[in-house]
Amino acid sequence: MRSCMRARSSRIIHRIKYRMPHKKLKAIWHSSFPIEYVNQRGEECCNGLLGIEILEAGPDYLKGRMPVDRRTQQPAGALHGGVSVVLAETLASWAAAYVVDPGKYHCVGQEINANHIRAVSEGWVFGVAKPLHIGSRSQVWDVRITDESDRLVCISRVTMAVLATPNKY
């Protein structure tokens, strides 16, 4: 038994010691993410009314922000939890739309949940959507919303259905 454990330890040490350097992260986007276009599309709908803005599309994430002001606060003056969910779904929906080939597929929201961690009463909140699963029929996105001090405000998980029809939008 001891020799088996020593052999296993030796293999683990060998793997750690001689691990290959990490490969460069491959971008998840089907084509380049058009930040200006999606912000323009959002101006005349809920996104624009709430001040939601897409800031950055990294190789495996989408980042946006939203102000905490009279438009997004609940009567007690804190960020409304439902508005946090709107930010999360906005980020996941835009991300999902550009992971697939829009000539063949489009994505729609299927389920969303949120855990509200901290209240915010002013400033900006920032959301980052990252994929947990990108499949041929569904996608699952993790969206973390933080305040200006990078403290966690809300964690959301968004499930998107991938439909085998071209995107009409």
156 within domain boundaries: yes
What CATH number has the domain bearing residue 77? 3.10.129.10
* Full-model pTM: 0.84
Give the range of the structural domain holding residue 158, as residue numbers without chain letter.
27-163
Domain membership of residue 53 (yes or no) is yes
pLDDT reported for residue 25: 59
- The tally of domains found in the chain comes to 1
The pair of structure tokens assigned to 82 is 């439902």
pLDDT digits (tens, 9 = 90+) for 71-97: 999 999 999 999 999 999 999 999 999
Closest CA to 18 of 10, 28, 30: 10
pLDDT higher than threshold 60 for residue 7: no
pLDDT at 54: 98
* Residues with catalytic roles: 89
